[in-house]
Structure 1
Amino acid sequence: MPKPVHYNAAEHISSDTAADPYQRPAFPLRDRIRRQLWNICWTLLYRTSPRPLHGWRSLLLQLFGATMGPNCHFYPKSRVWAPWNLVCADQVTAADGAEIYNPAPVTFGSHAILSQDSYICGATHDYDDAAFPLLAYAMSFGAYSWICARASVAPGVKVGEGAVLGLGSVATRNLEPWTIYAGAPAVRLKERRRHEQSSSEPA
């Protein structure tokens, strides 16, 4: 079953913007301006903030439209491409170097963790279309899921509650709840012991 596309640049960007489709912007001007303002904020206020000031960084993300639950820990070197497409429950962690490329909404459940240099890729391009338009996908990460250091999650992949993606692994398909995956592409290794405080419903 194909993944539903949340945003297709071909539906939003006129072909009149450039004769060569590779020179057309992927997003409308308003969105590009908003991202530039966020980049300035990240450089001057977010990136330079002391490590313990998680509340300050959550506030900055919220000012740009993010939904942040209590006690989220986003470290100074973490990157969020579009805060207005970020939804976090409580105690979500993004370590230094973790990057969330989210042209479409990305949702994190309670206690979800992104370790150092992990990468969440929320978009790709339609390589079968001569115009090569950007395609963005909504993504979700269940409560207590863990994306380990230097692991990557491909566009449109859903990570179930309690799922673990191992060190340096690449998830190209949905990860089942309370299951451990590793490899490139990631394959199922074994089940993970469920936490008593977790919900019974998968993400």
Structure 2
Amino acid sequence: MRSSVIWFFTNGIIAFIPSRHIRYILYKLLGMKIGGNVSIFMGTHIRNPKGVFIGEGASIGPKVLLDGRRGIIIGKNVTIAYEAILWSLNHDYNDLYFAGNGGKVVVGDYAWICSRAIILPGVTIGEGAVVACGAVVT
């Protein structure tokens, strides 16, 4: 029940507050580790805010999904564009019970993740890397 309330508060209320400064404060209160001068645009979907670290100067675009259930580390001055997805947990389709598996996602400093790119669990994006629009990184 508690996680459902946090999920609704994070993604149904905070994500749509017009002030990025108020969103910043509320995300920090929920346990996200956020550096200075970070922009998190409206409509960003965050799963498990406590598992997300965002370095200073980063920009998280509108409708980005950050899945912090296994951990996400975003370096400084990173740009994550519109509707990009960073998964840290997914299902094992070979398992009879569809068990969850995953790993921490790390995005190096100065990287750029373009619109609608998908980063899958356990991936490390290097410093200064560019992930093209619509790319799937495994």
> Which structure carries more strand by proportion?
2
Letter of the 2:15 counterpart: R
Normalising by structure 1, what TM-score?
0.64
Q: Distance in 1 between matches of 2:4 and 2:107?
A: 23
Maintained 8 Å contact 1:148/1:165: yes
Question: How far has the Cα of 1:111 moved from its partner?
Answer: 0.6
Equivalent of 1:167 in 128, 133, 136? 133
Q: Which amino acid aligns with 1:33?
A: R
**Counterpart in the other structure of 2:57:** 91
Deviation at 1:54, TM superposition (A): 2.1
Task: Kindly name which structure, 1 or 2, has the bigger radius of gyration based on alpha carbons.
Answer: 1
Task: For residues 134-153 of structure 1, give each alpha carbon's deviation from its aligned partner in whole angstroms, at most 9, with x where no partner exists.
Answer: 11311110001110011111
Q: Cα distance, 1:125 vs. partner? A: 1.7
1:34 — aligned with what?
3
Moved over 4 A (4+): none
How large is the Cα RMSD of the aligned pairs?
A: 1.5
SS in 2 for 1:57: helix
Relative contact order higher in (CA < 8 Å, ≥ 6 apart): 2
1:111 to 69, 77, 87: 77
| Residue in structure 2 matched with residue 141 of structure 1 by the alignment | 107
Residues 121-176 of structure 1, C-alpha deviations (whole Å, 9 max, x = no match): 1112223332221113111100011100111111111101110001111111xxxx
**Cα displacement string for residues 84-137 of structure 1 (whole angstroms, at most 9, x for unaligned residues):** 000111011111111112211100110111100111111122233322211131
Q: Of 124, 129, 135, which residue of structure 2 is paired with 1:158?
A: 124
Structure 1 unaligned residues grouped into runs of 5+: 1-31, 173-203
**Is 1:49 matched up with 2:49?**
no
